[in-house]
């Protein structure tokens, strides 16, 4: 039975460890996953490569993509556009790869509206204390930035209920394993097996 891949959206608090989690998942199961690459109008940061971290676009190019329906979702943050190019995602799903989008909550909910089978995953540290601890532990942010991230987490927490599953990232390896199993499990979803069900119904009629 050839199956399409699963479309999963991962969101979560800044400091929940989404990035590390994604990297570990993709390196452990490289043949089964594709990480979607976003398009953005913000300029590349040092070390960022076009087509690897992001597809870097001009405002005009980006707005053309919106107009042409080439984006699954898009949003504006701090004056820049961010969006998910549709063609790459569709190609990978057709090829049987699970595609993971790491996007913000509003984008996540928009994807779910367009593609109801999308698996919405919310990644969180085991506690608010641990979230603060991790944000401070990075040692790279000012107190002000940390406080603004924590304030934002308060707002984001209000949307946790809109997600299908909550993944507590306590131990990285455990969380990677759980995320993989969760996504694998979706391959058995009734909505993912419509072809099989139709065939079964048809073949049973011979009796």
- Nearer of residues 90 and 160 to its own copies, judged by Cβ: 160
151 binds its own copies (CB under 8 A): yes
139 annotated as ligand-binding: no
Q: Is 79 annotated as a binding residue?
A: no
The C-alpha angle 17, 127, 150, rounded to 5 degrees, equals: 70
Q: Phi and psi at residue 97, in whole multiples of 5°?
A: -85, 145
Instruction: Tell me whether residue 64 or residue 194 sits nearer to its own copies (CB atom).
Output: 194
Helix (H) or strand (E) holding 74: strand 71-77
**Min separation Cβ 132 and its own copies, Å:** 7
Let me know: does 95 contact 137? Beta carbons within 8 Å: no
Q: Is 119 helix (H, G, I), strand (E, B) or coil?
A: strand
Q: Which two tokens stand for residue 184?
A: 């694998």
**Only segment of 45-53, 64-72, 91-99, 197-205 that touches its own copies (CB under 8 A):** 197-205
Q: Which is nearer to its own copies, 58 or 206 (CB)?
A: 206
Q: Could you tell me how many residues of this chain bind its own copies (CB under 8 A)? A: 42
Residues whose CB falls within 8 Å of the CB of residue 186, separated by 6 or more in sequence, listed in order: 6, 8, 119, 192
CA 84 to chain centre: 10
The residues, any chain, with a CB within 8 Å of residue 87's CB and separated by 6 or more, are 70
Question: Which range in 34-42, 54-62, 90-98, 154-162 contacts its own copies by CB under 8 A?
Answer: 154-162
Residues in touch with its own copies (CB under 8 A) = 1, 122, 124, 127-129, 131-132, 147, 150-151, 153-154, 157-158, 160-161, 163-168, 178, 181-182, 184-185, 188-190, 193, 196-197, 199-201, 203-207
Name the binding residues for ATP.
Answer: 12-19
């Amino acid at each position: 039975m050839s199956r399409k891949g699963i479309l999963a959206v991962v969101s979560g608090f800044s400091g929940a460890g989404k990035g590390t989690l994604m990297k570990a998942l993709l390196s452990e199961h490289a043949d089964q996953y594709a990480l979607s690459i976003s398009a953005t109008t913000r300029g590349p940061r040092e070390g960022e490569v076009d087509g690897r971290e992001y597809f870097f676009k001009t405002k005009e190019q980006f707005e053309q993509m919106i107009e042409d329906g080439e984006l699954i979702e898009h949003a504006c943050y701090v004056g820049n556009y961010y969006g998910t190019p549709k063609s790459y995602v569709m190609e990978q799903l057709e090829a049987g790869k699970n595609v993971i989008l790491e996007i913000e909550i509003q984008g996540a909910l928009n994807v779910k509206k367009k593609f109801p089978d999308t698996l919405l995953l919310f990644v969180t540290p085991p506690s608010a204390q641990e979230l603060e601890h991790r944000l401070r532990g990075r040692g790279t942010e000012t107190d002000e930035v940390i406080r603004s991230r924590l304030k934002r987490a308060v707002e984001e927490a209000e949307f946790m209920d809109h997600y299908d599953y909550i993944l507590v990232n306590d131990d990285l390896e455990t969380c990677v394993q759980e995320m993989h199993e969760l996504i694998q499990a979706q391959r058995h979803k009734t909505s993912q097996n419509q072809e099989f069900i139709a065939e079964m119904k048809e073949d049973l009629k011979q009796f």
